[in-house]
Structure 1
Amino acid sequence: MKFKLFILFFTFSVIKILATGQEPDRIIINNKEYKLLNNPLEKYFTDHPEHHPIYGSKNTIKKEGKEETIFIGSTSNHRGYIATFKIENNLLSLVDIKIQNPTSDEYEYISVFKKTFGDRKIVLNYTGILIIPIGKMLEAANFGYASLYDKYHLITIQNDNIIKEKELDKDGFMDFKVRQFMDFKKTEEYKTEVKNYYEGWNTSKEWDLSRKNTRGMSKKEIAQLKKKYELPPNEDYIYNYLFVVLNPDFVITNY
């Protein structure tokens, strides 16, 4: 229990000083639309990068007679798109995808589903656990999808087919998240994330302590920087940091 409480404390301490909350995808269940705290299309776009509505080959506009690639994104939507999914007949499907209107100064999203996929039937081949908040928000967190709700609907999907679903309260959900992340820690993907974290830390250290960056700093400021990078982060810190920033939905954990 102390371990879970530590993670909760760490989570809501870190998320208040980190990056911006993310615009979620959507999911329609029984004709009602909900926020979806997963991004099932990310794996699809990894396998089919040419279909990505932001970075794919079809993402061009005519400008002064020339075709230019559109790069649209914001701190509140790193993906650059909002996808809408639907659960029908125990099957997960994609029904729409929107991006910010590149020809408008207004903050508006337009559908590019037809332009991106045409008339093809999209097979997502998604396997993972969907997380859908269905209750009241208890604590807002301006980072990723880390806000806390009092009730969740979890749906386990295997190759786009529902194999299990259940509603959990806040305590049940946090218990699930901790156990799922402990399962994630046993995977090669976790080892890769830890390696990437250390590489990023070393890159930041090299730049922050470089002569180019410290030029103009006082001796006191440079000393503070050196102290900051005196020791690399320990394993517990990295574990809890990754718990906050990652959503290993592909790890199928019982709930």
Structure 2
Amino acid sequence: MKLKIVILLFTFSLIKIFATGQEPDKIIINNKEYDLMNNPLEGYLEKHPDDHPVYGSQLTEFHQYKNGERMLSFSSSNDREYIATFKIENNILSLIDIKIQDLNSDSEDYISVFQKLFGNRKIVLNYSGILVIPTGKLIKAASFGYSSLHEQYKLMTIDNDTVVREKDLDKDEFIKFKFRQFAQYKKTEEYKTGLKKYREEWEYRKKSELSKENTKGMSKKEITALKKEYDQPPTEDDINGYFFATGNPDFVIVDY
């Protein structure tokens, strides 16, 4: 119970702090498009880096950026630097479009590069996980990660691109699912690795923030306040709250 309270308080405090929302991927079900609180293309791109629309080798317009001739400048509202659109048809998950920001547009418009990337190739995602699809009214907006809260959700369990289960949940059922999934996530190697990485990054930030170079020109009062921020390392409950609020361990299959 203590962990649940810590996580919930941490989640809603982050909602007030973070200002940059992330553009979600999309999914089409029965000819209706929804936002998708997962990124099923990420696993595919890890195994096929050449197919990445920005950092892969397929799109020639990015060669000048890779050679250092020009600097890439993408919106902070999309860390993935693309928006993928998926479709469920005949119980099969497939990728039907991928968009990136138009390099020639000042208004951050997105353009499709699916045909340029893949042509007539059939893309097999080999995705397995639980898709989270908000279908109801937005209750609590969050400008980061996957922590917005809606009245209704559709969950779909996918096994190698095939839908094996789906169910509609209300917000209370969804929150219970999230806690069950997170409890199982904590038993994985991915969680242990993430915990270690978070602590290492915190130590690095502490060293960098408190360095002579960074504090040069600060008043004694400002330096004291900064040191106070790094007085104690984050507890495991603190880190769990962050992981719960910002992560989405869709690969952890649990009942719902």
TM-score (norm 1): 0.94
Number of the residue aligned with 1:39: 39
1:68: Cα distance to partner? Answer: 4.3
After alignment, is 98-107 or 184-193 more displaced?
98-107
CA distance in 1: counterparts of 2:208 and 2:5, whole angstroms? 35
CA deviation after TM superposition for structure 1 residue 103, in Å: 1.4
Aligned residue in 2 for 1:154: 155
Asked whether the equivalents of residues 126 and 157 of structure 1 are also in contact (C-alpha less than 8 Å), the reply is yes
Identity of aligned pairs, percent?
62
Give the structure 1 partner of residue 48 of structure 2: 48
Equivalent residue for 2:197?
Answer: 196
SS of aligned partner of 2:254: coil
- Contact 1:28 / 1:87 at 8 angstroms: preserved in 2? yes
Q: What amino acid does structure 2 have at the position aligned with 1:147? A: S
Paired residues of 1:58 and 1:116 also in contact (CA < 8 A):
yes
Secondary structure in 1 aligned to 2:88? strand
What SS does the aligned partner of 1:16 have?
A: helix
Instruction: Go from structure 1 to structure 2 and tell me whether the alpha carbon gap of 1:58 and 1:142 turns closer, same or farther (over 3 Å shift).
Output: same
Q: Which has the higher contact order (CA 8 A, sep 6+)?
A: 2
- 1:230 is displaced (CA, Å) by 1.8
Name the structure 2 match of 1:23: 23
Range 137-146 or range 155-164, more displaced: 137-146
1:135-174 matched pairs, under 5 angstroms: 135-174=136-175
Q: Give, in whole Å, the separation in 2 of the partners of 1:240 and 1:22.
A: 19
Are 1:8 and 2:8 counterparts?
yes
Q: In structure 2, the residue corresponding to 1:22 is in which secondary structure?
A: coil
CA distance in 2, matches of 1:146, 1:239: 14
1:182 aligns with 2:186: no
1:60 matches 2:63: no
**Which ranges of structure 2 fall in alignment gaps of 5 or more residues?**
none
Q: Distance in 1 between matches of 2:215 and 2:115?
A: 51
- CA change 1:227–1:3 in 2 (3 A) is closer
The answer to whether the Cα contact below 8 Å between 1:54 and 1:72 also exists between their aligned partners in 2 is no
Q: 1:16 to 1:60 in 2, by over 3 A?
A: farther
Provide the residue aligned with 1:221 in structure 2. 222
Shift of residue 190, structure 1, vs aligned partner: 0.2
TM-score normalised by structure 2 residue count: 0.94
Q: Secondary structure at the match of 2:132?
A: strand
Q: Which runs of 5+ in 1 are unaligned?
A: none
Conservation of the 8 A alpha-carbon contact between 1:127 and 1:159:
yes
Aligned residues: 252
Structure-2 change in CA distance of 1:81 and 1:72 (3 Å): farther
Provide the alpha-carbon RMSD of the alignment: 1.6
